[in-house]
Amino acid sequence: MIVVMRRGASQENVQAVVERVKELGFRPHLSVGEERTIIGVIGDERTLNENVFRLMEGVEKVVRILKPYKLASRDFHPHDTIVPINDISIGDKRVVIIAGPCAVESREQILETAQAVKEAGAHILRAGAFKPRTSPYSFQGLGQKGLELLAEAKAKTGLAVVTEVMAPELVPVVAACADILQVGTRNMQNFSLLHAVGESGKPVLLKRGMMSTMEELLMSAEYILSHNNNQVILCERGIRTFETYTRNTLDISAVPVLKQLTHLPVLVDPSHATGNWEWVTPLSLAAIAAGADGLLIEVHPHPDKALSDGDQSLRPERFAELVNKARAVALAVGREL
């Protein structure tokens, strides 16, 4: 941590900061420049509040030097984390495809979709039983019944299952069915939920908040990792910007940046990012080209009848084409699919 003094700060101001640094058990390191004096604070700054210095007389600003996360950082864990889900390895050479409808709507719908995505080459089934919806008047998911139908689809197809959990008290019931617990974009900073999924010991798919920086995403991962649960999979799904033509703006740069900052696997969800099925395939290819470890794709046998997110769902035959194209790009960048 570096404390920058204001131009014209007095000798007493500087001395007071130096004393405070020592009091707190850190080592001060003074550097007198032409316009500003700066004071280095030597020690593990993660345990320090900035305001212990920022509010002192004569201080202009405080700059942090270290990254605020440790467990999620490559600095302390240089090798890629690979999360095994049955016989699938997320974060390894193979690009993993997770597909399925936004929500479980009926027995026919989920069984038909699960079979179709499996045939098209998907490795894992996704579908929501509990649905976070902006409007109280929208379909809220089948809940427990949805979980049972997911379990049936899993038994029939052999596909592992990822589904969202929205509240801490639901973690046990969702964990009983799901192979991966999904924390949704609106819950990325629901810290009670992060504690609960951390404790569960289950693999967690952590979606980036639509309003969250990459650093905040890694801090939320840190919450889970700090419960000795190191099976965390990150997912970029679009952020909110001023552009309204797409539902969100896919932050494709997050793929190489996160792969550099952290050892955790990074997936991309182009369906939620664009909100429009017509752009899902090109963005899927872009994600793989950028280095993503996998994709989350919404597929529905009858998108115009879907109870949620129909606009962005691919029909099974279009999804099959996507997988073929994705395979070609994966090979071109030295991956498999």
List binders of a second copy among 87-126 (CB under 8 A).
none
What is the bridge-based pairing of β-strands 232-236 and 266-268?
A: parallel
**DSSP H or E run through 214:** helix 214-225
Q: Which is nearer to a second copy, 157 or 269 (CB)?
A: 269
Site for a second copy in 231-270 (CB under 8 A): 239-246, 249-257, 260
The rounded Cα 114 to chain-centroid distance in angstroms is 24
Nearest approach, Cβ of residue 84 and a second copy (Å): 25
266 close to 259: Cβ distance less than 8 angstroms: yes
283 binds a second copy (CB under 8 A): yes
Nearest by Cα to 111 from 101, 122, 97, 98: 101
Map the footprint of a second copy across residues 41-80, applying CB under 8 A.
42-44, 46-47, 49-52, 54-56, 63, 65-66, 68-69, 75
- CA 154 to chain centroid, in Å, comes to 24
Residue with tokens 């919404």: 298
- Report the residue from 222, 269, 293, 298 that binds a second copy according to the rule CB under 8 A: 222
Q: 146 — phi, psi (to 5°)? A: -65, -40
Residue 36 or 94: the one with the smaller Cβ distance to a second copy is 36
Query: In the bound complex, what is the minimum distance in angstroms from residue 22's beta carbon to a second copy?
Result: 15
- The nearer residue to a second copy, 61 or 152, going by C-beta atoms, is 61
Indicate which single residue of 82, 111, 151, 290 sits in contact with a second copy (rule: CB under 8 A). 290
Q: Please report which helix (H) or strand (E) contains residue 38, including its range.
A: strand 37-42
Instruction: Name the minimum Å distance from CB 85 to a second copy.
Output: 25
**What is the maximal distance between C-alpha atoms in the chain?**
77
How far apart are alpha carbons 274 and 254 in whole angstroms? 16
**Least distance to a second copy, CB of residue 159, Å:** 25
Which string of b and e fits 167-201 if b means at least 16 CB within 10 Å? ebebbeebbebbbbbbbbbebbbbeebbbbbbebe
Indicate whether 228 belongs to the interface with a second copy (CB under 8 A).
no
Of 4 and 153, nearer to a second copy (C-beta) is 4
Please say which residue, 129 or 239, places its beta carbon nearer to a second copy: 239
Q: Does 33 bind a second copy (CB under 8 A)?
A: yes
Interaction pattern, residues 151-190, with a second copy; x per rule: CB under 8 A? ---------------xxxxx---------------xx-xx
- With CB under 8 A as the contact rule, the residue among 11, 137, 155, 176 that binds a second copy is 137
